[in-house]
Amino acid sequence: MIRVKRQPRLPPSGLTTTACLEQIEAATKLYRLRRNWSLKTSLTKYNNPTVKTALEAMFHGKCAYCESIYTRVGPMDVEHYRPKGGVVIEGSVEAPGYYWLAASWDNLLPSCRDCNRNRRHLLLDGSKEVAGKKNQFPISNTGPRRRWHTAKRWKAGIEKEENPLLLNPCNDFPEKHLMFDDAGNVLPTQSRTGRESVKGKETIRVCALFRPNLIQARRDMNKRHRSQVDAAADALGEFDAQPAQNAARTNYADELRSLTKMRDDEAEYALMARQLIDPALGTFAKGIRRHRAQLDIRMTNGARNLIDRFVVAYASPPEPPTAGELAARLRAIETRWRRR
Ligand SMILES: [Zn+2]
């Protein structure tokens, strides 16, 4: 998951149609005024092409949670960050959910089916586990749950009083909560005092980000990232040796361009890519500074902008976790899963 800016700021036209608003009104009458929690009401009109198109453009055809490119395998689910029909509380689904947000633009995200639905996954140890978000929306017990409301206390935006434990790419900075190892596993980040990110941990659990096919896909991608870092390092070595040579310079610029593409918003598993590639770009930025004169004179504008971006953004790269730290945390996570 990477942070994504919600755009356009105004809702797509499909969320403000009469049909859409009437459905929300009917649900509000049923649940808020009549206090009838057991009846179901239809909340479907949010799901229309204007919404899908906007979400697809905003997330570049990637799932908001796992960053897989779903457009390769099938249509997206228009996912409600706060579930509309019911919500899991202490292990069981209780109705209604956050029905008043069923057509709220800020509550909608594109999701792949494996993250959004409850599906059976075959784990690496041969066991099976049913996982996926569906009606889950964990919140911190340090704040209230605003699933339903009394007429007296209800007000627009009441849900904002909650402290969600599920990461939202439009509100949170996922890089502060999720990290990856070379085997494709995702882990919650840890503070200096050893405390795991609860948001990271809950997001991994709720969206089943531990599912084996996803781990495998990330592992394969990690190999490509590593070989591209190596290719750029080799190209820098050649350029260092022969800075006046056109071929060496062009090759270095090409390899850097390929490397940055892997960590851009459009790229699959971009958060994992950034964890590996961004520190490496710090080293490359030093190489770029050494050869600034040649690069500036002969590069295209696009490439020069790219180089400027490296130098500014990656001059002091963050320290990646050590292999030992990652291994210890993986062991802890495995133990926890076995206990469940
Ligand atoms: Zn997904």
127 shares its domain with 250: no
How close is the Cα of 314 to the center of ligand 1, in Å? 29
How close is the Cα of 152 to the center of ligand 1, in Å? 38
Q: H or E stretch including 73?
A: none
How close is the Cα of 34 to the center of ligand 1, in Å? 37
How close is the Cα of 202 to the center of ligand 1, in Å? 15
Flag whether pLDDT at 177 surpasses 70: yes
150 shares its domain with 226: no
How close is the Cα of 6 to the center of ligand 1, in Å? 18
Host domain of residue 69: 13-172
**35-66 pLDDT, tens per residue?**
777 888 889 999 999 999 999 999 999 999 99
Task: Please report whether residue 211 resides in a domain.
Answer: no
Comparing 6-15, 236-245, 291-300, 328-337, which segment has the lowest mean pLDDT?
Answer: 291-300
Task: Please report whether residue 334 resides in a domain.
Answer: no
Domain final position from 133, 157, 172: 172
Q: How many Å apart are CA 178 and CA 189, to the nearest integer? A: 5
List, as ranges, residues with CB under 5 A of the ion ligand 1: 63, 65-66, 112, 115
Task: Outline where the chain has alpha helix (H).
Answer: 18-28, 49-58, 113-116, 198-206, 212-241, 246-261, 270-290, 292-298, 301-313, 323-339
240 shares its domain with 119: no
Residue 317's pLDDT is what? Answer: 43
What's the Cα-to-Cα distance from 303 to each of 121, 236, 287, 291, rounded to whole Å? 44, 15, 15, 14
235 shares its domain with 295: yes
How close is the Cα of 141 to the center of ligand 1, in Å? 26
Mean pLDDT of the chain: 85
Q: 298-315 burial string, b = 16+ CB within 10 Å, else e?
A: ebeeebeebbeebbeebe
How close is the Cα of 77 to the center of ligand 1, in Å? 10
* Average confidence (pLDDT) over 246-250: 83
How close is the Cα of 76 to the center of ligand 1, in Å? 9
Q: Count how many domains the chain has.
A: 2
Domain final position from 112, 145, 172: 172
269 shares its domain with 137: no
Residue 270: pLDDT band (50, 70, 90) is: very high
Task: Please report whether residue 21 resides in a domain.
Answer: yes
Comparing 141-155, 245-259, 302-316, 324-338, which segment has the lowest mean pLDDT?
Answer: 302-316
Q: Which residue has the higher pLDDT, 112 or 293?
A: 112
Task: Please report whether residue 206 resides in a domain.
Answer: no
Task: Please report whether residue 262 resides in a domain.
Answer: yes
How close is the Cα of 106 to the center of ligand 1, in Å? 18
Residue 152's pLDDT is what? Answer: 64
Residue 246's pLDDT is what? Answer: 82
Task: Please report whether residue 205 resides in a domain.
Answer: no
How close is the Cα of 16 to the center of ligand 1, in Å? 27
Residue 315's pLDDT is what? Answer: 45
How close is the Cα of 83 to the center of ligand 1, in Å? 16
**281-335 pLDDT, tens per residue?**
877 777 776 766 666 545 556 656 656 666 554 444 445 556 676 667 667 656 6
110 shares its domain with 251: no
Residue 39's pLDDT is what? Answer: 81
Instruction: For residue 160, count other CB atoms closer than 10 A to its CB.
Output: 9
Task: Please report whether residue 8 resides in a domain.
Answer: no
121 shares its domain with 224: no
Residue 237: pLDDT band (50, 70, 90) is: confident
**Cα-Cα-Cα-Cα dihedral of 70, 74, 78, 81, to 10°?**
-40
How close is the Cα of 129 to the center of ligand 1, in Å? 17
Q: Which residue has the higher pLDDT, 93 or 301?
A: 93
How close is the Cα of 290 to the center of ligand 1, in Å? 42
Residue 17's pLDDT is what? Answer: 94
140 shares its domain with 246: no
How close is the Cα of 114 to the center of ligand 1, in Å? 6
23 shares its domain with 162: yes
Q: Which residue has the higher pLDDT, 232 or 272?
A: 272
Q: Report percent pLDDT > 90 for the chain.
A: 51
Flag whether pLDDT at 23 surpasses 60: yes
How close is the Cα of 161 to the center of ligand 1, in Å? 27
State the SS3 of 81-113: CCCCCCEEECCEEECCCCHHHCCCHHHEEEECH
Flag whether pLDDT at 146 surpasses 50: yes
17 shares its domain with 164: yes
147 shares its domain with 20: yes
**125-134 pLDDT, tens per residue?**
777 777 789 9
Residue from 120, 118, 116 nearest 108 by CA? 116
Residue 295's pLDDT is what? Answer: 61
Residue 321's pLDDT is what? Answer: 59
Task: Please report whether residue 244 resides in a domain.
Answer: yes
Q: Which residue has the higher pLDDT, 310 or 147?
A: 147
Q: What is the pTM of this model?
A: 0.84
How close is the Cα of 165 to the center of ligand 1, in Å? 17
* Average confidence (pLDDT) over 248-275: 90
> How many Å from the N-terminal Cα to the C-terminal Cα in the chain?
25
CB 100 within 8 A of CB 24: yes
148 shares its domain with 58: yes
How close is the Cα of 213 to the center of ligand 1, in Å? 11
